[in-house]
Amino acid sequence: MGVQFGDFIPKRQISLDDLKGKKVAIDGMNALYQFLTSIRLKDGSPLKNKKGEITSAYNGIFYKTIHLLENDITPIWVFDGEPPKLKEKTRKMRRHMKEQAEEKMKEAMKKENLDEVAKFAKRASYLTPKIVDNCKYLLGLMGIPYVNAPSEGEAQASYMAKKGDVWAVVSQDYDSLLYGAPRVVRNLTTTKEMPELINLDDVLEELRISLDDLIDIAILMGTDYNPGGVKGIGFKRAYELVKSGVAKDVLKKEVENYEEIRKIFKEPKITDEYSVNLRLPNKEGIIKFLVDENDFNYERVKKHVDRLYTLIANKTKQKTLDAWFK
DNA sequence: CACCAGTA
DNA sequence: TACTGGTGG
């Protein structure tokens, strides 16, 4: 979820061509969850292997990664580590929402309302640690870099973008802006809408505020670390409070742990232990994992694995060539 | 999510 | 050739 900046900040439609030749850090959990909820059959059930284990996320990782490479975009997948203590309330709420969705799905099944069943099945779905581990394993086999963040994945991805190791952070959430990501790309891991780019400097310039102000607006509205924010305050009120210079007073009075929340955005736990370089894929390993262990179609996987190998081999070759002429 | 066959 | 809806696991 994250902060609800939605319609209040400037963004522009882009195409995959605008990302050509660039590396991007993908908010892994965010993307995996999208795959899990969207890669489904008509009845709302996810893809499964013969053992009944959900494989939608593997499908998404595999095909989306190849599709991005095909467009000369290099994804670096960034996964969450240990959540900040202050996130506990949000996590409990989310668990509760899932349980409620589970109940509603059962009711819809009794009523044989198939649309409702599908809707609540999506809402009740969650990523298991095993699914996430297997996604990392698959990325490893594919030769695609991934990063285990010490804490929030978006904080780590934003750090990598700030350093210039990647051009942008890919996420549906706006929180990366609060971590100082210079660019955030939305709708890259979905197909319903066109990709859009949010430029942090443009946001701050258009609103005539600082990043600290933006963080204050977010905390007033509510973040994962103070869900709900200050009662009755949405973007417009928060913006007015910041512009009139009284935001700090309200925050200090109304938001428990204000300074600590601010610190999560300003000084997040991050690591320099990562690589953003592609490696040649392990073709046999991918086929063993997807086909033998997860019942993907051999012909289909084989075709894509060969394509993946060619793409990465060419990219590596090009890089060596570039270095030669530099 | 992307693929692919069937369609116009 | 471009589109779209059913399928994959």
Q: Quickly give A134 CA vs C4 C1' distance in Å.
A: 33
**Cβ of A320 less than 7 A from strand B:** no
Which residue from A87, A85, A65 is spatially nearest to A76, judged by alpha carbons? Answer: A65
Residues 51-90 of A with CB under 7 A from strand C: 55, 58-59, 63
Residues of A at the annotated binding site for Mg(2+)? 27, 80, 152, 154, 173, 175, 224
Confidence of residue A7 (pLDDT cuts 50, 70, 90): confident
**Cβ of A75 less than 7 A from strand B:** no
Confidence of residue A219 (pLDDT cuts 50, 70, 90): very high
10 Å CB burial of residue A13 (0-12, 13-18, 19+) is exposed
**Cβ of A35 less than 7 A from strand B:** yes
| pLDDT of A42 | 81
Look up the pTM and report it: 0.95
Please give the structure tokens belonging to residue A135. Answer: 């996604």
Rounded mean pLDDT of A216-225?
A: 97
Instruction: Give the list of residues 6+ apart from residue A273 with CB closer than 8 angstroms, or none.
Output: none
Task: Confirm if A23 and A74 have CB atoms less than 8 A apart.
Answer: yes
* Dihedrals phi, psi of A306, to nearest 5 degrees: -65, -40
Spatial separation of the C-alpha atoms in residues A192 and A205, rounded to whole Å? 30
Residues of A at the annotated binding site? 27, 80, 152, 154, 173, 175, 224
**Cβ of A44 less than 7 A from strand B:** no
C5 closest protein residue (CA to C1'): A42
Q: Quickly give A286 CA vs B1 C1' distance in Å.
A: 18
Instruction: Give the list of residues 6+ apart from residue A255 with CB closer than 8 angstroms, or none.
Output: A219, A220, A226, A229, A230, A261
Spatial separation of the C-alpha atoms in residues A125 and A163, rounded to whole Å? 35
Among A17-21, A54-58, A236-240, A316-320, the range scoring the smallest mean pLDDT is A316-320
**CA of A46: nucleotide with nearest C1':** C9
Provide the mean pLDDT of chain A.
94
Q: What three-state secondary structure class fits A199?
A: strand
**Cβ of A49 less than 7 A from strand C:** yes
| pLDDT of A119 | 87
| pLDDT of A326 | 47
Covered bases, chain B (protein CB within 7 Å) = 1-4
Rounded mean pLDDT of A219-246?
A: 97
| pLDDT of A259 | 98
Residue A120 has pLDDT above 80, yes or no: yes
pLDDT tens profile A60-113 = 999 999 999 999 999 999 999 999 999 999 999 999 999 999 998 889 888 888
Please give the structure tokens belonging to residue A42. Answer: 């008509």
Q: Quickly give A231 CA vs B7 C1' distance in Å.
A: 54
**Cβ of A42 less than 7 A from strand B:** no
Can you list the domains of chain A with their CATH numbers?
Answer: 1-207 (3.40.50.1010), 209-265 (1.10.150.20)
| pLDDT of A321 | 64
